[in-house]
Amino acid sequence: MQIIAKNLSFTYGKQTKAVSVKALNNVNLTIEEGDFFGIIGHTGSGKSTFVQHLNGLIRVNGKEGELRVGEFDLADKKCDLKTLRSKVGMVFQYPEYQLFAETVFEDVAFGLKSFNKDISQSEIELRVAEAITTVGLNYQRIKDKSPFELSGGQKRRVAIAGVIVSRPEVLVLDEPAAGLDPVGKREFLNLLKRLHSSFVKTIIIVSHDMNIISEYCNKVAVFNRGEIALVGTPQEVFADQNKIKELGLEFPLTARLKLALKNKGVEVGGDLTVEGFVTALSKLKEEGKL
Ligand SMILES: Nc1ncnc2c1ncn2[C@@H]1O[C@H](COP(=O)(O)OP(=O)(O)OP(=O)(O)O)[C@@H](O)[C@H]1O
Ligand SMILES: [Mg+2]
């Protein structure tokens, strides 16, 4: 499913007559099917507001632009949100706080049952086992446990299983790695990478961690005061040093190393992944330029 936002704007507090805050201002953005798409920007720039539009948690006001997610027209009041939500899975920051059922099985099965009222028990078991195994947990060992007796990392995996169990085409994660230790973070991102090549077609992540963005995303959009300030590959986005600084963002480690080497007269090509950086560096060595 391709995602297209055209002149999308959103203001909080319009209905309630509270002090209104313009959180999105004429956002134009296309996310292609198959993208591992990063959304970055300083705090309060509109990232969460934007992604909450993608499964209709925040509705588009018809006069405030357009949003299409595959065949779904989000500005249409009659848009079938239930079907949309089975296709666009949303994982919030600290998803483990959303766990509630008595067992891991029931927790993961919940979304599936609510999306498909007629689904058989055997199909539920099959799908729940598949989702739990996909997130790297042992189904037999964990299915009857209480979600509350699991570790933080395990809880987060169970929460993701509860979203991917309905086999969404698009998975949206708002700050998915927050609060995990470095090893947990890496494992979690590798899980997302696996999901992207097997289960889910498109992944959209909101993150403040530029190393994650440069390592995993093929495309990035930078939000600033509700607008899109930059969009492109990580390499393109982080090439504009002054702009990145002006937007209050950090550079990924690989970009910093490239810059430091450039200041010493060594131009390193390649992309901003660690692998890309190392390959470009060894090529320079082979060519005797290092
Ligand atoms: N429920 C709300 N009611 C009123 N204003 C809100 C609400 N949620 C967000 N805002 C405001 O809208 C703007 C955009 O907020 P948003 O949560 O989308 O930012 P963000 O980029 O996700 O920030 P962060 O990186 O801190 O998560 C901010 O000015 C914020 O204060
Ligand atoms: Mg946010």
Instruction: Decide whether any atom of ligand 1 lies within 6 Å of the 44 Cβ.
Output: yes
Which positions ≥6 away from 44 have C-beta within 8 Å?
none
Q: Does residue 223 contact residue 48 with C-beta atoms inside 8 Å?
A: no
Distance of alpha carbon 199 from its chain centroid, rounded?
15
Q: Does residue 111 contact residue 162 with C-beta atoms inside 8 Å?
A: yes
- Alpha helix (H) residue ranges in the chain: 47-53, 81-87, 104-115, 121-134, 139-142, 152-164, 182-198, 210-216, 234-237, 241-246, 253-263, 274-286
Indicate the pTM of the whole model: 0.93
Ligand positioned closest to the Cα atom of 21: 1
Per-residue pLDDT of the chain (290 residues; tens, 9 = 90+): 999 999 999 999 877 766 788 999 999 999 999 999 999 999 999 999 999 999 999 999 878 999 999 999 999 999 999 999 999 999 988 888 888 899 999 999 998 998 888 899 999 999 999 999 988 899 999 999 999 899 888 898 999 999 999 899 999 999 988 888 888 888 889 989 999 988 899 999 999 999 999 999 999 999 999 999 999 999 999 998 899 999 999 999 999 999 999 999 999 988 999 999 999 999 999 998 88
CA distances from 3 to 67, 141, 155, 285 (A): 7, 38, 30, 42
CA distance 207 to 252: 12
- CB atoms under 10 Å from CB of 64, counted, come to 18
**Strand segments (E) across 103-237:** 170-174, 202-206, 219-224, 227-232
Which positions ≥6 away from 275 have C-beta within 8 Å?
none
Q: Which amino acid is at 151?
A: S
Q: Does residue 133 contact residue 166 with C-beta atoms inside 8 Å?
A: no
Instruction: Decide whether any atom of ligand 1 lies within 6 Å of the 65 Cβ.
Output: no
Query: For residue 42, which atom of ligand 1 is closest to its CA?
Result: 25
**Which listed CATH number (3.40.50.2020, 3.30.360.10, 3.40.50.300, 2.40.10.230) goes with 3-249?**
3.40.50.300
Domains of the chain, by residue range, sit at 3-249, 252-290
Distance 123 CA to ligand 2 centre (A): 35
Distance 74 CA to ligand 1 centre (A): 20
- CB atoms under 10 Å from CB of 120, counted, come to 9
Cα dihedral sign, 137-139-141-147: positive
The residue count of the chain comes to 290
